[in-house]
């Protein structure tokens, strides 16, 4: 037998997750996911404040690029990559490589105090849109 309701705990990387299954009526169930003690929505909102993410397809292969705003570490598919910083007239650029392709993240002022710094990813000098996932 297995439980239809209750909590299951598991980890994803370093994150501690809990899925709660509750009966609402009859054979209807409600599922709730918590990550590090926060609802998935709240966790995602907090992550978007400290990280910026892009997904780029190169030769048919997807690459997930993540910038940690507090440390300025750049991750490509879950691994930190070596970077080199450069000051430019527009702001700063953090250069790195994705395989044989050159990439950089440009940080520039939004001109608005509330919006802060804007980060843009360029791969082979092409602007990559921000990922919504």
Boundaries of every domain in the chain: 6-36, 48-128
pTM confidence score: 0.70
Task: List all residues 6 or more positions away from 47 whose beta carbon is below 8 Å from its beta carbon.
Answer: none
CA distances from 100 to 11, 36, 106, 111 (A): 33, 37, 20, 34
CA 56 to chain centre: 13
**pLDDT tens track for 10-43:** 998 888 999 998 888 877 888 899 999 999 888 8
Helix (H, G, I), strand (E, B) or coil at 21: strand
Taking only the tens place, the pLDDT of each residue in 34-67 is 999 999 888 888 877 788 899 999 888 999 999 9
CATH number of 48-128: 2.40.128.180
């Amino acid at each position: 037998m297995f439980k239809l309701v209750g909590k299951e705990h598991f980890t994803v990387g370093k994150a501690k997750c809990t899925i709660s299954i509750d009966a609402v009526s009859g054979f209807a169930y409600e599922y709730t996911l918590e990550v590090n003690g926060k609802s998935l929505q709240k966790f995602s909102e907090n992550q978007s404040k400290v990280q910026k993410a892009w997904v780029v397809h190169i030769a048919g292969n997807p690459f997930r690029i993540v910038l940690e705003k507090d440390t300025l570490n750049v991750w490509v598919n879950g691994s930190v990559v070596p970077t080199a910083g450069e000051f430019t007239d527009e702001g700063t650029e953090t250069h790195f490589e994705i395989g044989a392709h050159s990439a950089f993240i440009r940080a520039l002022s939004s001109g608005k105090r509330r919006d802060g710094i804007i980060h843009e990813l360029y791969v082979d000098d092409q602007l990559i849109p921000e990922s919504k996932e």
